[in-house]
Amino acid sequence: MVTAAFLVATLSLFFSGVPGLLLPRGSVAGERLALAMVVGGSTLGLAAAVGVVLAPAPLLFSYPWGVPGGNFALCLDTIAALFLLPVYVIALLGAVYALGYWPERLNPGTGRRLRLFYGVIVAALTLVLTAASSLLFLVAWEIMALAGYFLITTEEKKEEARRAGFLYLVATHTGTLALLAMFILLGEASGSLDFPYPGALAATGSAAGIFLLALFGFGLKAGLIPLHVWLPGAHAAAPSHVSALLSGVMIKTGIYGLVRLTGFFAEIPPWWGWTLLTLGAVSGVLGVAFAIAQHDLKRLLAYHSVENIGIIALGLGLALLGRSHGLPALALLGLAGALLHVVNHGLFKSLLFLGAGSVIQATGSRQIGGAGGLLRRLPVTGICFFGGAVAISGLPPLNGFISEWLVYLGALHSLHGERALSLAAVVAPTLALIGALALACFVKVFGALFLGAARSAQAAEAREAPASMRWPMLLLLAACAGIGLFPASVFPLLERAAQNWGVEAAGGLLAVAPPWPLTFVAWLLLVLAALLWLWRRRARRQASAADTWGCGYALPNSRMQYTPSSFAALLVDLFRWGLRPERHGGRAEGVLPASASFASHTPDAILDRLLLPLVGGGARACTWLRARIQNGSGGLYLLYVALTLCSLLIFLLLRG
């Protein structure tokens, strides 16, 4: 029943864009039909996911199909449900948002293909998250990757989108290659292409190879530094509701893969956890540092995805260490924190991307520095963005705090272990650094976009988004607040997911990390702030208005405001060793200087300074080698044939 609902939901999503293809360009009917199918499919899928959560045991479904090597096998357990819930929610809200953001009548050239691949990627995502055989997983993974490519290049007329799409395609196929090798090794180890049962594999023999290949393949999708190079460009180039889907849920398939794979093994070598912790810490700190230095709103948000993937990796690393050292409480806290952060990040990051879309539509620009004062023009978008900013900074009383709190508790629990393990407590200061940097970054973004005075004519004339764009944001904000105010409601879910993963602690999550005081404090905070607010509000009516004090300067204007890049300059300077920001101009020359200009720019140091030179060097070396080997002289080619024959003969001799 639940499985059937899930399959129907997947089919409905998969084909949601197809009727529109048969209808003429610019037809509103196709748009409405696609929306109806996405909404119907997502609602059904949500119901199925809830059914999975309520079911006493994981639901298994297997159908022998004609493709060699394995069955069409699905496994619907709580881990899958936890990842599926945000997929359906964000897909549904994103489709509604698209009505206002990318309407067919304004985008007849791209609308149909956008909706087609939107449906395809969501359906493929749900299959990736439920597949229980290697072949089905890889097929769904590839469909997802390709649909992602077409979504990123929606605006293919723009050079930037084509570049980002190509980089994404190269990255994702490199990852698939690693995953293919990984699944072959896994199949050899388990004896079948169907996924093994949790805890069925011994961590011997090829386990290290499997883990490293998975870390590379899945890490590339998730965007762990240094494998994140495709991510900022791709998220920036895609339409905003697609960015929300890509950043909110698509990159989480990498995390899902790592969680699922590590669940197969009975015991975990400690170095797995340490590797993931290190990668997580590097991704978290450098991701947010790169984000602070960005001027492009969507690139900035994309780097924050790298940061949050880092936080998730920290949690997962703690969970692995907990399993290696036999501390179930640590494993439970780490995994619960990681999984809850997956859900939370899906919610608040898509909220922020939808808010960014609304800002971009209103001002016509992705540059943060050109906006300002939007809170008066876009009050609803402003509040939603503010909520998202508070949540992503991990501040109470919203949901980001709850998951970070669990990871922190995990870090503290590692102090209970032996000496080698207690070093993992360093996760706590690392998280504190990441959180404080994220706060700095989002004060900058929110302040530059929504506060102060407008810095450009477009920002001064900005109009609030239509209702179809406002409601999805408000609902996402409500979801963020809901998890933040009632964390106990999601804890049983996390606990069951941990059981599916093979971790069970005495008393469960509620005993290790009782969340009720958090609820109490969150409400106390809200009530006190509301009381003070009401008290002040009465007096505020008699307030007199004045200009902002210009420190004696009589003619202040909006260009004299502190710019976002100045705001970030102190922090960018502290991280100069990793970011390598570029500065141009800015020096006034002579006694009576002429007008001068200054620009700063922070490209992705790992892509531009490491990867591209490396790949370029490799390509040149190959060209050089090819020119030597294939130089057009027939005699040399004959020599090659003779040499090959000789080596084959020697090989046969040695074998015989």
Region for residue 100 given its phi and psi (left: phi exceeds 0; alpha: psi -120 to 50; beta: otherwise) = alpha
Task: Select from 21, 28, 510, 574 the one that contacts other proteins (CB under 8 A).
Answer: 574
Instruction: Say if CB 255 and CB 346 are below 8 A apart.
Output: no
By CB under 8 A, tell whether 274 contacts other proteins. no
CA 224 to chain centroid, in Å, comes to 10
Distance, in Å, from the CA atom of 70 to the CA atom of 139, rounded to the nearest integer, reads 12
By CB under 8 A, tell whether 280 contacts other proteins. no
Task: Select from 54, 543, 554, 591 the one that contacts other proteins (CB under 8 A).
Answer: 543
Distance, in Å, from the CA atom of 308 to the CA atom of 380, rounded to the nearest integer, reads 25
By CB under 8 A, tell whether 529 contacts other proteins. yes
CB of 339 to other proteins, least distance (A): 18
By CB under 8 A, tell whether 447 contacts other proteins. yes
Distance, in Å, from the CA atom of 312 to the CA atom of 570, rounded to the nearest integer, reads 27
Q: Provide the 8-state DSSP code for 296.
A: B
Task: Select from 129, 132, 342, 425 the one that contacts other proteins (CB under 8 A).
Answer: 425
CA 3 to chain centroid, in Å, comes to 27
By CB under 8 A, tell whether 567 contacts other proteins. yes
CB of 379 to other proteins, least distance (A): 9
By CB under 8 A, tell whether 239 contacts other proteins. no
Instruction: Say if CB 154 and CB 116 are below 8 A apart.
Output: no
Per CB under 8 A, contacts with other proteins among 391-420 are 393-396, 401, 404-405, 408-409, 412-413, 415, 419
CB of 575 to other proteins, least distance (A): 10
Distance, in Å, from the CA atom of 3 to the CA atom of 130, rounded to the nearest integer, reads 10
Task: Select from 54, 57, 191, 542 the one that contacts other proteins (CB under 8 A).
Answer: 542
By CB under 8 A, tell whether 422 contacts other proteins. yes
CB of 546 to other proteins, least distance (A): 5
By CB under 8 A, tell whether 54 contacts other proteins. no
Task: Select from 202, 208, 467, 570 the one that contacts other proteins (CB under 8 A).
Answer: 570
Task: Select from 130, 430, 500, 602 the one that contacts other proteins (CB under 8 A).
Answer: 430
CB of 573 to other proteins, least distance (A): 9
By CB under 8 A, tell whether 446 contacts other proteins. yes
Instruction: Say if CB 216 and CB 175 are below 8 A apart.
Output: yes
Distance, in Å, from the CA atom of 238 to the CA atom of 271, rounded to the nearest integer, reads 37
Q: Of the two residues 128 and 333, which places its CB atom closer to other proteins in the complex?
A: 333
CB of 525 to other proteins, least distance (A): 6
Buried/exposed code over 422-457 (b: 16+ C-beta within 10 A; e: otherwise): eebbebbebbeebbebbbbbbebbbbbbbbbbbbbe
Region for residue 633 given its phi and psi (left: phi exceeds 0; alpha: psi -120 to 50; beta: otherwise) = beta
By CB under 8 A, tell whether 588 contacts other proteins. no
DSSP annotation string for 198-266: TT-B-S-TTHHHHHHHHHHHHHHHHT-TTS-TTHHHHHHHS-HHHHHHIIIIITHHHHHHHHHHHHHBS
Instruction: Say if CB 144 and CB 125 are below 8 A apart.
Output: yes
My answer on whether omega of the bond before 397 falls inside 30° of 0, hence cis, is yes
How many residues touch other proteins (CB under 8 A)? 83
By CB under 8 A, tell whether 359 contacts other proteins. no
Q: Of the two residues 544 and 597, which places its CB atom closer to other proteins in the complex?
A: 544
CB of 514 to other proteins, least distance (A): 6
By CB under 8 A, tell whether 520 contacts other proteins. yes
CB of 581 to other proteins, least distance (A): 16
Report which secondary-structure segment, H or E, holds 76. strand 72-76
Cβ partners under 8 Å of residue 504, min gap 6:
328, 332, 498
Distance, in Å, from the CA atom of 220 to the CA atom of 173, rounded to the nearest integer, reads 10
By CB under 8 A, tell whether 514 contacts other proteins. yes
Per CB under 8 A, contacts with other proteins among 371-390 are 372-373, 375-376, 386, 389-390
Instruction: Say if CB 266 and CB 340 are below 8 A apart.
Output: no
Task: Select from 192, 278, 489, 566 the one that contacts other proteins (CB under 8 A).
Answer: 566
Per CB under 8 A, contacts with other proteins among 13-52 are none
Distance, in Å, from the CA atom of 364 to the CA atom of 376, rounded to the nearest integer, reads 17
By CB under 8 A, tell whether 117 contacts other proteins. no
CB of 393 to other proteins, least distance (A): 6
Q: Of the two residues 91 and 448, which places its CB atom closer to other proteins in the complex?
A: 448
Task: Select from 208, 467, 528, 622 the one that contacts other proteins (CB under 8 A).
Answer: 528
By CB under 8 A, tell whether 452 contacts other proteins. yes
By CB under 8 A, tell whether 565 contacts other proteins. no
Q: Of the two residues 177 and 423, which places its CB atom closer to other proteins in the complex?
A: 423
By CB under 8 A, tell whether 512 contacts other proteins. yes
CB of 230 to other proteins, least distance (A): 28
The DSSP bridge partners found for residue 162 are none
- And the tokens for 495? 């606990």
By CB under 8 A, tell whether 585 contacts other proteins. no
Quick note: the x/- pattern for other proteins over 464-503, rule CB under 8 A, is ----------------------------------------
CA distances to 7, 49, 158, 330, 458 from 4, rounded to whole Å, are 5, 12, 42, 37, 50
By CB under 8 A, tell whether 328 contacts other proteins. no
Q: Of the two residues 188 and 573, which places its CB atom closer to other proteins in the complex?
A: 573
